[in-house]
Structure 1
């Protein structure tokens, strides 16, 4: 079982993997952003009575945050607890690439780890989102047309023919599509170069 600091580290890791901003996490658990920040900075002790709320916000079980293994040797009950998620193709983590929308294959995952909503996987190509998202990672996208500042989104641009995965930053009348890799430049979007957000990156996994 994890200690208090290890639980916080697990929460931070899960939030990062899911592209979840501090503001969004605070909203989901019904707490002030400053309070959640103090837990992350370890200036205040994490309240275990809020464990269930944080687990729900991160789409995991309280037992997972505590490090309690309910299913030894990765054995899970199969009945009604797996979901097939389609892989819709590739998305650029670098220069935009032609959008791919055909279903290549499906990935079967444990349903308890999934957020709500219409979900699909895209395969990251390139390293502009490294180290957050590595090249070749399978990125789980929840379909939605808006994301908060700082969240990672799958974006269609150039008349819905090119797709890219970037962090969103809104400033006045422009939108910045920001890479996490400093070797890449942001993409600047104005009213003359509209984009369409197709979903929010919520999780990813990659093969060794």
Structure 2
């Protein structure tokens, strides 16, 4: 893909500064450009070309897609399971890290994907403490799916079940953790599509 010289330099700078994102003004200064509007223009062009994904709620949170040794790579933010506040989203916070993922491994658009670091033992044996969970952003889920959700201000990974009256959230480690009814602020953030474990 042919890029404008400024876009090439901007993309390289965005890659280098992913763990400490620069402001638009900072990008302008680093690239020696005449104005922030020039930076904004080229950022939009990179987004249109599918090389950059920014979080609308937090523009300094972004993912860069590129080619490394012929493999198309996307750098995705990794979030922790944390308190989100009454109207907060797990995706509003600052990522713990950026992780390079081969785009060929994902069967849906990369801009719909996010990563979560699992916590605790409630989803054993499928998901262990510290595992990286791959989720597809969505506000809905089917019965029986495992979801990343917000419930009572807390980000969770749970099995989803809905009937006409209520949503019930349950753990896969059912001998230790009982199912419970979702709170008034419950909402789905994404459906779990895969798990990467560090265990060997």
CA distance in 1, matches of 2:107, 2:83: 27
The 3-state SS of whatever aligns with 2:130 is coil
CA distance in 2, matches of 1:86, 1:187: 30
Query: Does residue 1:137 correspond to 2:131, yes or no?
Result: yes
C-alpha deviations, 1:107-157, integer Å up to 9, x for none?
112211113231111100001110011111000111100011100101112
Query: Does residue 1:204 correspond to 2:195, yes or no?
Result: yes
Pairwise CA distance, 1:79: 2.6
Aligned to 1:48: none
Pairwise CA distance, 1:180: 0.3
Aligned to 2:83: 98
**TM-score normalized by structure 1?**
0.55
The 3-state SS of whatever aligns with 2:118 is strand
How many residues in Structure 1 have an aligned counterpart in Structure 2? Answer: 123
The 3-state SS of whatever aligns with 2:181 is strand
Aligned to 1:165: 157
**TM-score normalized by structure 2?**
0.57
- For residues 111-190 of structure 1, the aligned pairs below 5 Å read 111-117=103-109, 118-158=112-152, 161-182=153-174, 183-189=176-182
Q: Give the conservation status (yes or no) of the 8 Å contact 2:74–2:102.
A: yes
Aligned to 2:59: none
Aligned to 2:64: none
Structure 2 alignment gaps of length 5 or more: 1-67, 85-89
| Higher RCO (C-alpha under 8 Å, 6+ residues apart) | 1
Pairwise CA distance, 1:80: 5.0
Q: Choose 1 or 2 for highest CA Rg.
A: 2
Pairwise CA distance, 1:189: 2.1
The 3-state SS of whatever aligns with 2:104 is helix
Runs of 4+ in 1 over 4 A off after TM superposition: none
CA distance in 2, matches of 1:78, 1:151: 36
